[in-house]
Amino acid sequence: MRLRFPWTTNCGLFFTRYEEDQAFLPSRAAKIKVLCLFALLLALPWLVGPYPLRIASQVAIMALGAVGLNLLTGFAGQISVGHAAFMGVGAYAVGALTTKLGLSFWLALPLGGLAAALVGAFFGLPSLRLKGLYLAIATLAAQVILDFAFVRLEPITGGAAGLVLTPPSLGPLSLADDTVFYYVTLALTMAGVIFALNLSRSRVGRAFMAIRDRDLAAAMLGVDLFGYKLRAFFLSSFYAGLAGGMLAAYTRVVTPEQFTLDVSIQFLAMIVIGGLGDVLGSVYGAAFVSLLPIALSYLAQALQGVLPQMVNLLSACQTALFGLVIILFLIFEPQGLAKLWRHIKDYFRLWPFSY
């Protein structure tokens, strides 16, 4: 088709098709799969006991944080080694606002997210000039500074002893109840996942990816590099802050060692394992990284009779193990678990005949 006049041809023709084209669950099979998963998650409190349910809540919290980091690192290409510290800002803000100012948890939670977002955006300022490894070091500095602040700002943070929260309630329901807590966390994390998926298929998400792939070309198209990098830090830290606030309600105690460099590395492991730039992958990655230590401790217990040293050895090796897993994934499966899973499925689909 030739154009006679630039912008005025065939309006209205493809309206429905474009919307379908831009849907994030394009195929019917994908829709059914997601519905099944959703049903399973809803039914979980009836299917498992209280301990696994608490673990599931923890996974959901970490998944929310991981989705946030993936927006920053996987989509916008800005690495952060301080994600746990931003999560800590949210947790401490929620803790301090509820215990010291007596604010409602439901008001404190978004404020905690906002506090983390502002702190994150502040520590994102160096991204104006720094890239890659240098930015990693700058965000590492953020981690160290905030770690220090958590311990030293005693009037607000309670110092090394931390803050102790009373369990928040939702109308007549108490979040001390594992099932209630699970549903609240699930709802929040799902909202976070859907928000991120939506963002990734619209203007801001595309601008993030453009900055990641070719920052100068993005600038030539009118993307304000610095503005969008700061937005990415802000948004990512907002997710971290919400996750931190939920974690505070979950453990009901906020202490500095919950938000150390180890945890930041674990977040990176989650998104690398789950797949950089893959929103749902962050959830798988969070599940994997959160469940692995639990699986390892079961393994250690089982082996205790045979190899008594095993317990200490395994827990000592955990961080090193995550480091190794990150490196292996970066080398062999840069698109993460989701891709690995597709490979495995392809393998079994062809199974008896696969070479």
Binding site for other proteins (CB under 8 A): 1-7, 9-11, 14-15, 18-19, 21-22, 195-196, 198-199, 201-207, 209-210, 213-214, 216-225, 231, 235
Cα dist. 346→28, 91, 105, 280, 343 in Å? 19, 42, 46, 20, 5
- Minimum CB distance to other proteins, residue 38 (Å): 18
Smaller CB distance to other proteins: residue 66 or 265? Answer: 66
Q: Compute the CA torsion angle 288, 293, 295, 299 (nearest 10 deg).
A: 150
CA–CA separation, 83 and 265 (whole Å): 9
- Minimum CB distance to other proteins, residue 140 (Å): 26
Smaller CB distance to other proteins: residue 3 or 47? Answer: 3
CA–CA separation, 169 and 132 (whole Å): 43
- Spatial CA neighbour of 128 closest among 232, 225, 234, 233: 225
What length does the chain have? Answer: 355
Smaller CB distance to other proteins: residue 210 or 249? Answer: 210
- Minimum CB distance to other proteins, residue 178 (Å): 29
Smaller CB distance to other proteins: residue 85 or 223? Answer: 223
Smaller CB distance to other proteins: residue 56 or 230? Answer: 230
Smaller CB distance to other proteins: residue 104 or 198? Answer: 198
- Spatial CA neighbour of 136 closest among 225, 207, 73: 73
CA–CA separation, 270 and 24 (whole Å): 22
CA–CA separation, 114 and 120 (whole Å): 10
Smaller CB distance to other proteins: residue 11 or 47? Answer: 11
- Minimum CB distance to other proteins, residue 240 (Å): 15
- Minimum CB distance to other proteins, residue 1 (Å): 5
Smaller CB distance to other proteins: residue 224 or 346? Answer: 224
**Contact predicate 70/277, CB 8 Å:** yes
Q: Which residues pair with 254 in a beta bridge?
A: 163
- Minimum CB distance to other proteins, residue 192 (Å): 9
Phi, psi values for residue 103, rounded to 5°: -70, 155
Radius of gyration of the chain (CA): 22
Q: Which residues pair with 170 in a beta bridge?
A: 173
- Minimum CB distance to other proteins, residue 22 (Å): 6
- Minimum CB distance to other proteins, residue 7 (Å): 6
What SS3 class is residue 308? coil
Q: Which residue has the tokens 């955990």?
A: 318
- Spatial CA neighbour of 158 closest among 166, 150, 148, 146: 150
